[in-house]
Amino acid sequence: MKSAALATLVMAVSIAGGTADAAFSRLTVRGDRVCLRAGPDDQTEVVAQVSDGEVLAGTGREEGEWIQVIPPASVSLWVYGELVQDSLVSASKVRVRSGPGISYRPVGTLDKGQPLSVRSVKGEWVEVAPPPGSYLWISRIYLAPDEPSPRPKPEVPSAPASAPPPPAAPAGRPAIAVGPPPKPEVGKTAPSPSIVSAPVVAHPREEPVSVPPVLAGKRLAPGKEAGLKVECAGVLRGAGLLWRRPSRYRLVQDDGTGRSVTRCYVLGNESQLGSIVGRSLVIHGREYWLDGVRYPVLIPDQIVRRN
């Protein structure tokens, strides 16, 4: 799967302009739930998260500790709907944004007539697969050392038809059957060190777990890991009255500019949650992504007050 995803990313580099060999580098993620951001600093919005071992395609551009990468195919980006007709860009220099609104940072530009892979429509905005020419950023501290793009091996010419037969075994000695070499024994590798991306700390992955009864009847988002154990810090707030929201409560975090952003919805004992609204908390539990819901749902196992 990683090889196929990597091949897709290399193709995207080629389409965007220039050959893959000129800019492409193979970057391996070290750490779970590592953020991909819209710009080269930790104050810009988080567009997606990647897991330990995932391979990204780097463009070769760097700014300080930040590396520019091509968005994985699983990431969704956004384009203003008035500028898209029949899945084609209908204007020149259309901006691709990290979210459905002009307050979200541009992460690329599109030319007129460029095709788009449309995933959904949200109000005036169209959700699309990452088009060529869109880029995100990742901190180099969450990457293994860069590896060059793999090149095709040169073809080895076949032996000529007139090649002499191999010499016969010396007389008096039994012939020895030569089979394939034994496979080397695969030893256990040491686990990667836990990497903290404050204020969220991810635990190692566990075996898949069943969907809890509180989510009965809800559809899980395809391609997302269900039941991942996480530890989330933030302030508990009400979630509002929109019908698409799966819970009355959400956990918010400061994005560094004084603005509170939603980290996840919290689904549990409503009387208990209602009594701690406005409190700063650390919640240990399991995380689930629901189809059509922008943020994950956290089902608490333990809630710790911080004030």
Q: Where are the domains of the chain?
A: 2-74+136-148, 77-128, 201-305
pLDDT per residue as tens digits for the range 126-137? 999 999 999 999
The vertex-56 CA angle with 55 and 59, nearest 5°, equals 150
Cβ neighbours, 10 Å, residue 288: 27
pLDDT per residue as tens digits for the range 218-266? 888 888 888 888 888 899 998 876 556 788 899 999 877 878 888 899 9
Question: Is the pLDDT confidence value at 125 over 60?
Answer: yes
pLDDT per residue as tens digits for the range 166-201? 555 555 555 444 455 555 555 544 444 433 434 444
pLDDT of residue 151: 53
Query: Domain 2-74+136-148, CATH 3.10.450.630 — does that match?
Result: no
Q: Which two tokens stand for residue 254?
A: 């400061």
The vertex-22 CA angle with 21 and 25, nearest 5°, equals 65
Q: Which two tokens stand for residue 75?
A: 């990431």
Q: Same CATH topology for 2-74+136-148 and 201-305? A: no
Q: pTM, whole model, 2 decimals? A: 0.44
pLDDT of residue 182: 53
CATH for the stretch 201-305: 2.40.50
Phi/psi region, residue 141 (left: phi>0; alpha: psi -120 to 50; beta: rest), is alpha
